[in-house]
Amino acid sequence: MSVVEYECVGDIGLLTLNNAPVNALSHSLRSGIVDALRMASLDQSKAIIIVGNGAMFCAGADIKEFSQTPQAPSLVDVTECIENMQKPVIAAIHGNALGGGLELALACHYRCALASAKLGLPEVKLGILPGAGGTQRAPRIIGLEHAFTLITSGNPCKAEKALSIGLIDHLVEHDQDLVAAAQKYAQQVLNEGLPIRRSSQSPIDKQNIDSDWFDKKRAELSKRARGQIAPQHIVDCLEKALNAEFVEGMQFEREAFLNCVTSEQAKAMRHLFFAQRLAAKVKGVSPDTSKRPIKSVAIIGAGTMGGGIAMNFANVGIPVTLLELSAESLTKGLQLIEKNYAISVSKGRLSESQKAQRLALISGSTSYQELNQVDLVIEAVFEDVEIKKQVFRKLDEVCKVGAILATNTSYQDVDAIAQVTKRPQDVIGLHFFSPANVMKLLEVVRGAQTADDVITTSMALATTIAKIPVLSGVCYGFIGNRLLSVYLRQSQLCLLHGATPEQVDSAMTNWGAAMGPLAMNDLAGIDIGFKARQGLSDDKKGSPEVYAIADAMYHAGRLGQKTAVGYYRYDPETRARINDPDALAIIEAQSAKFGIPRNAQTEQEILNRMIIALVNEGANVLHDGIAQRSSDIDLVYIFGYGFPAYRGGPMHYADSIGTKKVFEMVCDFASKFGNTYWTPSPLLKELAEKNLSFSDWDAQQSNSK
């Protein structure tokens, strides 16, 4: 079956894109389109429709070809070929028209779409920009303001919105046959003698575009997309579109595109694109493994986490029962959920009726008996393993055969929890991140006896509730928190050795992290970390100086934002973070107490201590078989811990430095600070010696299965 099919039906030519699964514009598809258009230009057709076969119109350029030598015809050639046709060309869109797929449609003279279709230019999420005329045609069709939003957000817009901003010309109702409707629309274009409308020749509406419009947009993006290069290039391209001829604008866009696509940022974001698709695959478990139906869910504990978790299921139409010990705490929990939905309504992200629909799916209970028919239970009670075991004994008594029993623990031993039930094969960890209704990451923790269908059901369910699933084995803190503990430890040791809180945090935020470790501690509450450490065995706690500063903050009543003082002082009005000499005094006192000299540290050294420690522990997590692949660890840190996507995650960042260099850095730190906390991971050592990268290791592992 060829990737392009063309037939002339009456006087309408029908060109079908046929490159499953997403009609990615590979070289063969681009060539096929040009050949078919050449055919159409010579046959008796009076108009041509371009439509996609399968799930969607077109998902854009073939991302897999980015690292290959470009082959003609390019996508720009294809769009020129379409626009220069002497017969009206109409795009008939269903499913997704994204990136180059939408650029293809923008080169068409008219566009119609099914009401369920989505249209977008998501290139910025790959660290690039639309490279086939999107930055030049979009502003000519929908104006600069809408083009700016569409291209810099990268988020798709629904067909109805697309019609309202002029991105499409004709909406086809859900229940209609798209091709038939498009043929009828094409006939209407012909009958009404509508012109061949070439968007490259349309002027850009300058209304409301005052002289500093572009600079205002640049300033807005330097906040919203801090550290990213592509968004700034996009504004440059839009400015060129306004101030230059189309051909010159296309040339400018081409150069900007090439600049971005070869950048480290684009490589990092492409890595994440494919990492997300890989993460859902579980080694050793056949993708055909059956899945248990999840039509109803119960959450034990209506606290902040329980409420947020419940919202994820109600958001996708799955009824949820929230269980609490008392009616009072249940009411509190339900009120918090209502408040969260009300905030979404106030921000225009949700309609009142959607809010009502979702709240109607969330019910409360104080009786375990009422959970005897649910398909999945997620325990989200206080982080104490004995309390969790009590809950699981109860669930084991009341839940139906085949129900999945999950724990939202962030650290505890899932196997120990499973052991208190007579059905450990039905027990799994589903570790959500706070706020659970917002954070995209879901660590799926497979226990030693967790059944394959429980794993595949949980991985698929994560996608259903719009989460990114990452599979983890059982160890203290799983993937994310196990690495976090070595990262936070280094942040404390940097303070002891002479850094200030601001130096530690800005090392991470200047690297692109949303927040530094100490500001994060102040936000989460220094008491949380302190109490968690009390439950740790000495070997996990580490030597007394490691958390001496954090403990001193706790004992000084400096718990962070909740007490307006922690590693920083917080302005009572604005909550602005202020450097606090009192905090520094506490830090210096602990250095003195342990006889540790305070020396100046460069920002790079502070950054390296935290990131390289995290990478080294990442290698241990791979070596111990806790994580399936290094790209999974990258997803955990991007979608669970606010690491910058344009760095690709800690393991990808390590590959950009080179495992040999990373190994040497670990050894240097060991010689400088001792190897208590700087023992090179055996896997890191092996990769360095063999001059292999972590992604080489991933590939080897996936080939060895």
- Catalytic (active-site) positions: 103, 123
- Which of 652, 684, 521, 628 has its CA nearest to residue 280? 628
Q: Which tokens hold the place of 206?
A: 């300058």
Does 75 help bind ligand T1G (rule: CB under 6 A)?
Answer: yes
DSSP strand pairing (468-472 vs 441-446): parallel
How many CA atoms does the CB half-sphere of 180 hold within 13 Å?
A: 5
Closer to ligand T1G at the Cβ: 268 or 475? 268
Least spacing, CB of residue 388 vs ligand T1G, in Å: 34
User: In the set 32, 131, 473, 501, which binds ligand T1G (CB under 6 A)?
Assistant: 131
> Residue 140 CB: number of other CB atoms within 10 A?
23
User: In the set 3, 12, 14, 22, which binds ligand T1G (CB under 6 A)?
Assistant: 22
Least spacing, CB of residue 350 vs ligand T1G, in Å: 22
Least spacing, CB of residue 82 vs ligand T1G, in Å: 14
User: In the set 4, 113, 132, 418, which binds ligand T1G (CB under 6 A)?
Assistant: 132
Closer to ligand T1G at the Cβ: 61 or 493? 61
User: Distance from CA of residue 604 to its chain's centroid?
Assistant: 27
Q: Is 12:47 a contact under the CB 8 Å cutoff? A: yes
Cα(448)–Cα(558) distance, integer angstroms: 41
Closer to ligand T1G at the Cβ: 21 or 284? 21
DSSP strand pairing (404-407 vs 376-379): parallel
Does 130 help bind ligand T1G (rule: CB under 6 A)?
Answer: yes
Does 60 help bind ligand T1G (rule: CB under 6 A)?
Answer: yes
Does 134 help bind ligand T1G (rule: CB under 6 A)?
Answer: yes
Closer to ligand T1G at the Cβ: 128 or 168? 128
What does the DSSP 8-state code read for residue 74? P
Cα(36)–Cα(321) distance, integer angstroms: 56
User: In the set 3, 4, 17, 24, which binds ligand T1G (CB under 6 A)?
Assistant: 24
Closer to ligand T1G at the Cβ: 484 or 645? 645
Using the rule CB under 6 A, give the single segment among 40-48, 128-136, 304-312, 318-326 that binds ligand T1G: 128-136
- Which of 43, 132, 141 has its CA nearest to residue 87? 43
DSSP strand pairing (4-9 vs 12-17): antiparallel
Does 339 help bind ligand T1G (rule: CB under 6 A)?
Answer: no
DSSP character string of 551-600: HHHHHTT--BGGGTBSSEEE-TTT--EEE-HHHHHHHHHHHHHTT-----
User: In the set 30, 49, 79, 123, which binds ligand T1G (CB under 6 A)?
Assistant: 123
Least spacing, CB of residue 113 vs ligand T1G, in Å: 15
Least spacing, CB of residue 432 vs ligand T1G, in Å: 21
Q: Which tokens hold the place of 695?
A: 């992604």
Which residues on adjacent β-strands are paired with residue 97? 58, 119
Least spacing, CB of residue 646 vs ligand T1G, in Å: 15
Query: What is the pattern of x (binds ligand T1G, CB under 6 A) and - over residues 274-313?
Result: ---x------------------------------------
Does 462 help bind ligand T1G (rule: CB under 6 A)?
Answer: no
> Residue 287 CB: number of other CB atoms within 10 A?
10
CA–CA distance from 442 to each of 276, 281, 407, 459, 625 (Å)?
12, 14, 12, 9, 18
Does 17 help bind ligand T1G (rule: CB under 6 A)?
Answer: no
H or E segment and range at residue 620: helix 603-623
Q: Is 567:509 a contact under the CB 8 Å cutoff? A: no
Least spacing, CB of residue 100 vs ligand T1G, in Å: 3
User: In the set 33, 59, 151, 268, which binds ligand T1G (CB under 6 A)?
Assistant: 59
Amino acid at 104: L
Count the residues of the shown chain that bind ligand T1G, applying the rule CB under 6 A. 24
Give Cβ neighbours of residue 202 (< 8 Å, ≥ 6 apart).
Answer: 140, 141
- Which of 8, 32, 35 has its CA nearest to residue 18? 32
Closer to ligand T1G at the Cβ: 38 or 277? 277
Q: Which of residues 82-121 bind ligand T1G (CB under 6 A)?
A: 96, 98-100, 103
Does 127 help bind ligand T1G (rule: CB under 6 A)?
Answer: no
Does 61 help bind ligand T1G (rule: CB under 6 A)?
Answer: yes
How many CA atoms does the CB half-sphere of 39 hold within 13 Å?
A: 15
Using the rule CB under 6 A, give the single segment among 54-62, 162-170, 502-510, 525-533 that binds ligand T1G: 54-62
User: In the set 38, 64, 216, 690, which binds ligand T1G (CB under 6 A)?
Assistant: 64
Closer to ligand T1G at the Cβ: 123 or 551? 123
Phi, psi of 588 (to 5 degrees): -60, -35
Amino acid at 34: V
Site residues, ligand T1G (CB under 6 A):
21-22, 24, 59-64, 75, 96, 98-100, 103, 122-123, 126, 128, 130-132, 134, 277
